[in-house]
Amino acid sequence: MKPRLARYLPILTWGRHYDRSALTNDLVAAVIVTIMLIPQSLAYALLAGLPAEAGIYASIAPILLYAIFGTSRALAVGPVAVVSLLTATAVGQVAEQGTAGYAIAALTLAGLSGSFLLLLGVFRLGFLANFLSHPVIAGFITASGILIATSQLGHIFGIEAGGHTLIEMIVALLSHLGETNPITLVIGIAATAFLFWVRKGLKPLLRSFGAGPLLADIVTKAGPVAAVLVTTLAVWAFGLQARGVSVVGEVPQALPPLTLPSVAPDLLRQLVIPAILISIIGFVESISVAQTLAAKKRQRIDPNQELIGLGAANLGAAFTGGYPVTGGFARSVVNFDAGAETPAAGAFTAIGLAIAALVLTPLIYYLPIATLAATIVVAVLSLVDFSILKKTWSYSHTDFAAVAVTILLTLGLGVEIGVACGVILSVALHLYKTSKPHVAEVGLVPGTNHFRNISRHAVQTDPHVLTLRVDESLYFVNARFLEDLIQDRVTEKGALRHVVLMCSAVNEIDYSALESLEAINHRLRDMGVGLHLSEVKGPVMDRLKTTHLLHELNGQIFLSQYDAWKALTEPGKIVA
Amino acid sequence: MKPRLARYLPILTWGRHYDRSALTNDLVAAVIVTIMLIPQSLAYALLAGLPAEAGIYASIAPILLYAIFGTSRALAVGPVAVVSLLTATAVGQVAEQGTAGYAIAALTLAGLSGSFLLLLGVFRLGFLANFLSHPVIAGFITASGILIATSQLGHIFGIEAGGHTLIEMIVALLSHLGETNPITLVIGIAATAFLFWVRKGLKPLLRSFGAGPLLADIVTKAGPVAAVLVTTLAVWAFGLQARGVSVVGEVPQALPPLTLPSVAPDLLRQLVIPAILISIIGFVESISVAQTLAAKKRQRIDPNQELIGLGAANLGAAFTGGYPVTGGFARSVVNFDAGAETPAAGAFTAIGLAIAALVLTPLIYYLPIATLAATIVVAVLSLVDFSILKKTWSYSHTDFAAVAVTILLTLGLGVEIGVACGVILSVALHLYKTSKPHVAEVGLVPGTNHFRNISRHAVQTDPHVLTLRVDESLYFVNARFLEDLIQDRVTEKGALRHVVLMCSAVNEIDYSALESLEAINHRLRDMGVGLHLSEVKGPVMDRLKTTHLLHELNGQIFLSQYDAWKALTEPGKIVA
């Protein structure tokens, strides 16, 4: 009983050994992460089209729940850029920004996403996330980064703009450009420039002044806080709000409220597909971070338990005024680097954010939206990485096609269509590749027992024997290919008496391929040619033994290709 | 220039060597096939919901066009049962049976299907048909046979009935059962029983009376003609039409008319998916027959040219009052057995049918619909074969699942949904299987250079070295599986210093898997464990050489697993 419970509640494992040293380390990490999270949470809520406080709320209960159910010791859960964009897209289709319906739809999306993740975890279906190939993810993240950065330009110029595709966004920006608020633009550009400098120039500078790497890192991560403080003070001191600078405004000074997601069937139906998409993309992002960090300490991540942890976190967000969350890359790395030892660090971060929600919220009344937009732009531009195009091009053109299509469609038709087409294309390209497997005609390397491709090596062959090595599992997508190929080769070669299929790389023969082999066997028999198999793997042979093929085989099964060669060739006929 | 033209016009190849003996053989075959085709064509047109003559028309131009463009010497093209059912389903959704719109929709379906097949052929995309796995086809054909036979029961009882799913059909039959016409029922049952007896009992009887196999076969195939003659005469002689027996009625005494398919965008949009489905199912049926017959004479079938041949045949049907056609199994076998040597036999069959359309049509006025229904029932029940369930169950449960789902959904929700779900399920199950590949931990078989699964064989291992043989290509669907697996194994084994991946069955490493290997490499390095690869295949290695992985590899690449073993193990530590 105990181990089973501990599997579903990882807190029981690490909680038993929790000590003073771990407590100290976790507290330090929590303070650093809290400072980093406050501006980030506000900004991402804005990106999702929600009031700023939703970002803070989405960081409190989810962090606590993940600390109980999650397996990663360092993962920091909360709002992240890509999921916030996906939320804005999904919720924008069912409700108007700024309405109560919009906030409820966001809660509902978190609730659906949490339920879906929990289901996947309980039924151990985490492998479904594997359908997102790395090229599709990379292309999607790059395109999302561009979309997110573009979506924030309106806030930096102080104009209204919208749109879900790159072209829509650019058109909206250009058509409102005349309404630019110069003061907002100055704040936005200054904040952006400052944050870029903090990211690129400050750390080396601090190091050259003799600061330790950890201190340099913390100061760098506090850059957004400094930008927030300075611009907020400027707006307050110079009364810039009266001159058209948009500010965050009134934020309730309270702990996260208790909220209820909607159960209206219509709304649920409209949000279920986006919720699945958000869940899977969020899970993939989160698990990659978790595994990378866990490996550094030789710890184990259980992907299915991670689904349960993230599911609980999202359900938490749904009932406490939040919106969909996941494990974020930047914050988790900060948490890890700052020395977090257990998920308790997350719990302390949650407490820190709860205090901020209670105490600091009045102070952000004058915080300019443009500063938050600058925070987002600088954060997401690090996601944009076109090098994946070059890398995949040089490695494999099909992977390149998946990246290119995902980027183009995400930018051109929106995030949901982009990622869906990327996934479909990856699967289709994989099936296409395996539909035309590499088949080598092989011959004997003189003086050895080895058989190699006749077009790559100098080998011996016999005009009466055709030996084909198929470098792929045989299944329905390529079964007919093999039929065609053998029929072609055999009709070409008049003198042929034996065909040997060398199966060393055949990991599976499904029922379609079995029937194709039976058809090949019958057809070769009609032509007076024998069909032989060599080097069939154990599990494949176990299956074949249950079939008629072996009894009806118009030839033999050889353990090794060399046995086949000795039995079928005639010494006088061998051609070197 | 010549060989290229000959590739697209196979008639240029066989036409040049056409002689008297081939002519005689082709003429004999054509006479036999013509006799068989007349009742069959009328019956299938009825099944498709079209006037009886459409079946004859659909056999004339298509056969001629296939004779010019097709590569099979024996394939007989025309209306077939499954495609007729698919036509009835598709056209029934857009028009009412018996209206002019219905006939035009059927022509349009043939036009779309022909265009799609031509496109596939010209762009050499015939491999797309491979997505129909053998279990899905077998399940689909069996379920279609049941649906077709059930759909004909109404005609045998002389009542109106309809429906596209088994339940709908049964409900419609039962609710009209009180309206049964007793004379129609007698004709229908007598014809069905007679035809069953001809199929099962007549041939052995004739053989026991000393008839040759060919003669016995021809007499057997003429059974439907006898049933047609006798029942038609009975209706005419006893005036049964006045007593409620439905007959074929007036059929125009003419050559196939020149017709035009519709180009209304709405209709095209509604028919395009059914047209694709019909094309692919028809192509799969046709190519299997063509290849089986070609193999018997060591001839070659070009699948892409077959697409062009069938495309031309369907376009021919669209412009001459027909409906979608394909190569039929029964008629092609009869053609082949009767000695057809070239596609000219098909051309002579077309002439025979044209004469029938001109001369015989008045004679079929009194042909009872019930007789045609009996012909269909007896023909399609030979398609029903549940043994595929047993065969796939004993071979592979995933293939069984594909068959069972296809049969149930085809019967329960109709042909289009049934086959679509079957295809999707096959692909999903294949991806699922490859998402969790077989990974064996291997050790050295003492006294050899061979490495085998430690759980199947008595082998030597070293606690510092973990050797894993992955029996699957590495690609995005299983990339993360490998990451999880290695992380699990390594965190379990404290003493581990080296992980060796034995890649003898890895036929591909895609970009996602490459990144997973890089992640595994980094994580193992963080844990102080080396990552080594052995027995990497040539084409895979060629690709890996272009990447960073090889430079950053925290270990070595070994040509053989034995080399890896010698280099990494310490003789004192080896455990037998």
Beta strands in B339-455 (DSSP E): 439-444, 451-453
Same-domain status, B340 and B312 = yes
Q: For residue A178, what are the contacts with CB-CB under 8 A and spacing of at least 6?
A: none
Q: Is A515 on the interface with B (CB under 8 A)?
A: yes
Indicate whether A267 and A379 sit together in one domain. yes
Within 10 A of A190 (CB to CB), how many other CB atoms are there?
Answer: 17
Q: Which residues of B touch A479 (CB under 8 A)?
A: 130, 133-134
pLDDT at A461 over 50: yes
Tell how far CA A251 is from the center of its chain: 33
Instruction: Quick: pLDDT tens for B147-200.
Output: 989 989 999 999 987 788 899 999 999 999 989 999 999 999 999 999 999 888
- A516 lies in some domain: yes
Length of chain A counted residue by residue: 576
Residues A339 and A463 in one domain: no
Q: Tell whether A418 is covered by a domain.
A: no
Residues with Cβ within 8 Å of residue A194, at least 6 apart in sequence: A223, A226, A227, A374
Reading the block at residue B206, the tokens are 């004739």
Average pLDDT rounded to a whole number, residues B366-393: 89
- Here the tokens at position A287 are 């698990």
Task: Please state, for a pLDDT cut of 90, what percent of chain A lies above it.
Answer: 38
Q: Write the burial class of residue B575 (CB in 10 Å: 0-12 exposed, 13-18 middle, 19+ buried).
A: exposed
Instruction: Report yes or no on B212 lying in a domain.
Output: yes
pLDDT, position B4: 67
**More confident: A338 or B562:** B562
Determine, yes or no, domain membership for A431. no
| Residue B2 is assigned to a structural domain of this protein | no
Of the residues A355, A387, A403, the one at which a domain ends: A403
B489-510 average pLDDT score:
88
Question: Is the Cβ of B140 closer than 8 Å to some Cβ of chain A?
Answer: no
Q: Per-residue pLDDT for B300 more than 90?
A: no
Q: Are residues B486 and B355 in the same domain?
A: no
Q: What is the dihedral of CA A524, A525, A530, A533, to 10 degrees?
A: 70
Contacts of B562 (CB under 8 A, 6+ apart): B444, B449, B451
Dist. CA B299–CA A225, nearest whole Å: 78
**Domain residue limits at A253:** 2-403
Please indicate, yes or no, whether residues B58 and B203 belong to a single structural domain of this protein: yes
> Which residues share a beta bridge with A444?
A451, A460
Q: Judge: A487–B435 Cβ closer than 8 Å, yes or no.
A: no
User: Of the candidates A518, A569, A550, A514, which has an alpha carbon nearest to the alpha carbon of residue B295?
Assistant: A518
- As a whole number of angstroms, the distance between CA A262 and CA A318 comes to 10
Number of domains, chain A: 2
Binning pLDDT at 50, 70 and 90, where does residue A319 land? Answer: very high
B60: pLDDT confidence band, cut at 50, 70 and 90? Answer: very high
What pLDDT shows up at residue A2?
44
Q: Please give the Cα distance from A76 to A356 (Å, whole number).
A: 17
Per-residue pLDDT, averaged over B394-419, amounts to 90
CA distance A355 to A361: 10
- Give DSSP secondary structure letters for A394-435: HH-HHHHHHHHHHHHHHHHH-HHHHHHHHHHHHHHHHHHHHH
> Using an 8 Å Cβ cutoff, are B106 and B87 in contact?
yes
Single-letter code of the amino acid located at B242? A
In this structure, the answer to whether residues A453 and A380 fall within a common structural domain is no
> A520 with A486: CB under 8 angstroms?
yes
**What are A504's two structure tokens?**
């060393």
Contact between B81 and B371 (Cβ < 8 Å):
no
In chain A, positions 470-489, which contact chain B (CB-CB < 8 Å)? 471-473, 475-481, 483-484, 487-488
Q: Write the single-letter amino acid at A29.
A: A
Residue A428 covered by a domain: no
Q: Is B21 exposed, middle or buried (0-12, 13-18, 19+ CB in 10 A)?
A: exposed
Averaged pLDDT for residues B426-431? 86
Q: In terms of pLDDT, which residue wins out, A313 or B479?
A: A313
Confirm if B195 and B227 have CB atoms less than 8 A apart.
yes
d(CA B399, CA B284): 18
Q: What is the pLDDT of residue B504?
A: 83
Do the Cβ atoms of A526 and B291 come within 8 Å? no
**pLDDT value of position B3:** 57
Q: What is the mean pLDDT of chain B?
A: 88
- One-letter amino acid at B258 equals L
Interface probe with B: pick from A120, A130, A302, most Cβ of B within 10 Å: A130
Asked if A298 and B527 come within 8 Å (Cβ–Cβ), the reply is: yes
Average pLDDT over residues B442-462: 86
- Look up the CATH number of the domain holding residue B561: 3.30.750.24
- Select from A301, A396, A476 the Cβ nearest to the Cβ of B134: A476
**pLDDT tens profile A505-531:** 888 899 989 988 998 998 899 888 999
Q: What is the pLDDT of residue A3?
A: 57
Q: How many Å apart are CA A544 and CA A497, to the nearest integer?
A: 24
Flag whether pLDDT at B32 surpasses 80: yes
pLDDT higher than threshold 90 for residue A57: yes
Find residue A365's DSSP bridge partners.
none
Query: What's the rounded Cα separation, in Å, for the pair A523 and B293?
Result: 9
Q: How far apart are CA B515 and CA B500, in angstroms?
A: 17
Contact check, Cβ <8 Å, A476/B133: yes
Q: What is the pLDDT of residues B253-295, one digit of tens each?
A: 888 888 999 888 999 999 998 999 999 889 988 888 887 788 7
User: A109 and A15, same structural domain?
Assistant: yes
Q: Supply the pLDDT for residue B2.
A: 44
Quote the pTM value.
0.75
Contacts of B199 (CB under 8 A, 6+ apart): B220, B223, B378, B382
Q: How confident is the model at residue B108 (pLDDT cuts 50, 70, 90)?
A: very high
Summary mean pLDDT of chain A: 88
B189 and B327 part of one domain: yes
Report the alpha-carbon angle B569-B571-B575, nearest 5: 85
Name residue B325's amino acid. V
Is the Cα dihedral B132, B135, B138, B140 positive or negative? negative
DSSP H helical ranges for B338-383: 344-359, 369-381
Q: With residue A531 as reference, give the H or E element that holds it.
A: strand A530-534
Residue B49, in any domain of the structure: yes
- Residue A327 pairs in a beta bridge with A77
Tokens found for residue B502: 């034995």
Domain termination site, one of A378, A403, A428: A403
Q: Which residue has the higher pLDDT, B233 or A337?
A: B233
- In chain A, which residues have their Cβ closer than 8 Å to the Cβ of B504? 504-505
A300 close contact with B: CB closer than 8 A: yes
Q: Are residues B289 and B365 in the same domain?
A: yes
Q: Output the pLDDT for position A255.
A: 87
B465 or A251, greater pLDDT: B465
Across A199-203, A249-253, B283-287, B499-503, the highest mean pLDDT is recorded for B499-503
How do residues B116-157 score in pLDDT, each as one tens digit? 999 999 988 877 777 788 888 889 889 988 998 998 999 999
Residue B472 distance to chain A (closest CA, Å): 6
Of A147-161, A283-297, A383-397, B229-243, the one with minimum mean pLDDT is: A283-297
**Among the partner residues B296, B303, B438, nearest to A539 by beta-carbon distance:** B438
Residue in A with minimal Cα distance to B402: A511
Which of B196, B139, B33 has the alpha carbon at shortest distance from B400?
A: B139
Residue A506: closest CA among chain B residues belongs to which residue?
Answer: B505
Does B423 share its domain with B448? Answer: no
* Residue B13 reports pLDDT greater than 80: no
- The average pLDDT across A159-174 equals 88
Inform me whether the pLDDT recorded for A230 exceeds 90: yes
Residue pair A164/A89 in contact by the 8 Å Cβ criterion: yes
Q: Return d(Cα A80, Cα A379) in angstroms, integer.
A: 10
Distance of alpha carbon A133 from alpha carbon B477, whole angstroms:
7
The whole-angstrom distance between B30's CA and the closest CA on chain A is: 25
Residue range B543-567: mean pLDDT, rounded: 90
What are phi and psi for residue A219, nearest 5 degrees?
-60, -45
The pairing of strands B530-534 and A451-453 is unpaired
pLDDT band of residue B104 (cuts 50, 70, 90) is very high
- With beta carbons less than 8 A apart as the criterion, state whether B38 and B353 touch: yes
> Are A251 and A367 within 8 A, CB to CB?
no
Check residue B1 and give its pLDDT: 39
CB environment A449-477: b (16+ within 10 A), e (fewer): eebbbbeeeebbbbebbbbbbbbbbbbbb
* Residue B125 shares a structural domain with residue B141: yes
B60 close to B289: Cβ distance less than 8 angstroms: no
- Substitution target in B13, B120, B130 with the highest count of A β-carbons within 10 Å is B130
Q: How far apart are CA B201 and CA B220, in angstroms?
A: 10
B493 shares contact with chain A (CB less than 8 Å) = no
* Average pLDDT of span B472-501: 87
First to last CA, chain A: 68
Starting at the edge strand found earlier in the chain, the sheet holding B530-534 runs: B451-453, B439-444, B465-470, B498-502, B530-534, B557-558
A235 to chain B, minimum CA–CA distance in Å? 46
Same domain, B223 and B313: yes
Strand extents, DSSP E, A98-158: none
In the DSSP assignment, the letter for residue A474 is: B
Q: What pLDDT was estimated at residue A156?
A: 93
Q: What is the DSSP letter of A503?
A: -
CA distance B543 to chain A (A): 6
Q: Which residue of A has its CA nearest to B488?
A: A300
Long-range contacts of B457-463 (CB under 8 A, 24+ apart): B458/B576, B460/B574, B460/B575, B460/B576, B461/B574, B461/B575, B462/B568, B462/B569, B462/B570, B462/B573, B462/B574, B462/B575, B463/B493, B463/B495, B463/B496, B463/B573, B463/B575
Mean pLDDT along residues A448-463:
85
Q: Is residue B399 part of a domain?
A: no
Among B310, B316, B332, residue whose Cα is nearest residue B60: B316
Which residues are within 8 A (CB) of A4 and not within 5 positions of it... i.e. 6 or more apart?
A: none
**Spatial separation of the C-alpha atoms in residues A335 and A346, rounded to whole Å:** 9
Q: DSSP letter at B509?
A: B
Contacts across the A-B interface (CB distance below 8 Å):
205
Tokens 């690869």 correspond to what residue? B533
Contact A131 B477 (CB under 8 A): yes
